[in-house]
Amino acid sequence: MPGPEIPALPRGFLRKGEDAATTVYLRPLGAPDRFQQCEVLIRRPGGALTVRCAKDDVLDWARTEGEALANHISVLIERLAVPRPPFAGLALDRPLIMGIINVTPDSFSDGGETPDTATAVARGRAMAVAGADILDVGGESTRPGSRPVSADEELARVVPVVRALAGAGHTVTIDSRRAQVMEAALDAGAVAVNDVTALSGDERSLTLVADRGVPVILMHMQGAPQTMQDDPHYDHAVLDIYDELGRRVETCLAAGISRAAIAIDPGIGFGKTVAHNAEVLGRLSLLHGHGCAVALGVSRKSFIAALAQGEPVSDRVAGSLAAALHAVAQGVHIVRVHDVAETRQAFDVWQAIEARGSPVE
């Protein structure tokens, strides 16, 4: 019996004046820097057409569709092929592990485990010994339904921890959506900012990061932590998230932040259903089209329980590792985790196998 019909790349689909950059998307199949096969996603009312084909075929098709599309596809392929420069002083030639240090009483997974400076610093040092490349310090929970804390409280929680860990020579980032906290943490030794609002939650944060010349992780979030899980909705989740992150990247570039200093994070669990999360994770490599480093946080999140028969938070390590390995296989550069030793072992094994693999003749 013949197999299912494979969609062909459509001819003449762009209407006059339509923007190819927000209509056609390219996802590499395989390592982003050396892919030969790809998936073309074409946004249409009510959904998207997806076509898998050879990279050369996409180029030939784009040229027949006009200069705008040909230029757009050429830019995407060039961004995919260019190796990412170091981020926060760390080479991106292997996946980096970012250890989570929540100096909070109410974070979804580890709230209350590091309630004071001494405990948090000890946790950070242990993570570094276990293999963390980056230590991400936060003082305000952004779990679904969480409430903001005052700036003074957040500062009191994070600044001493940042100062101690940075002073010991560790690479430290500050997880905050407040410019005041970002600034104090940078002064205390943090080398980059990780912001769940993608520098949109505080009118000073964009200028601060640009003026200080520090790297930033821009995360996608639909809504605010208090209400983001009430009824998240997208026309096409992965494409909507791609476009919104692209707009934030362009805003940062216009403010003077270089593309090399930007990492993007699709924000798994932040204003997304289980189905949305699975869709985004299934097409993570699409995000490389922005030419930035890609970061991801999946550790112990509730979608793992939804996909794995309701495992409690403490029993989600295996699911977290499965999602993390899937991510690095799609070229994700930075993975934010609670369980550093287990993730380091998984990455080391994955890298050893990848290094010894070769195409079957």
Catalytic residues: 301, 336
Burial, 102: exposed, middle or buried (Cβ in 10 Å; 0-12, 13-18, 19+)?
A: buried
φ, ψ of residue 102 in degrees (nearest 5): -100, 110
Sheet with 24-29, edge to edge strand ranges: 24-29, 37-44, 47-54
Identify which of 182, 183, 137, 132 has the alpha carbon closest to the alpha carbon of residue 162. 137
Beta carbons of 308 and 319 less than 8 angstroms apart: yes
Q: What b/e readout covers 137-148, taking b as 16+ CB neighbours within 10 angstroms?
A: bbbbbbbbebee
Instruction: Sort strands 24-29 and 37-44 into parallel, antiparallel or unpaired.
Output: antiparallel
- The contacts of residue 128 (CB under 8 Å, 6+ apart) are 99, 135, 170
Q: At 241, which amino acid appears?
A: I
Identify which of 248, 200, 203 has the alpha carbon closest to the alpha carbon of residue 224. 200
How far from chain centre, in Å, is Cα 254? 21
Neighbours of 17 (CB within 10 A): 6
CA distance 136 to 63: 44
Beta carbons of 162 and 175 less than 8 angstroms apart: no
CA atoms within 13 A on the CB side of 131: 18
CA distance 152 to 173: 19
| Four-residue CA torsion sign, 77, 80, 81, 84 | positive
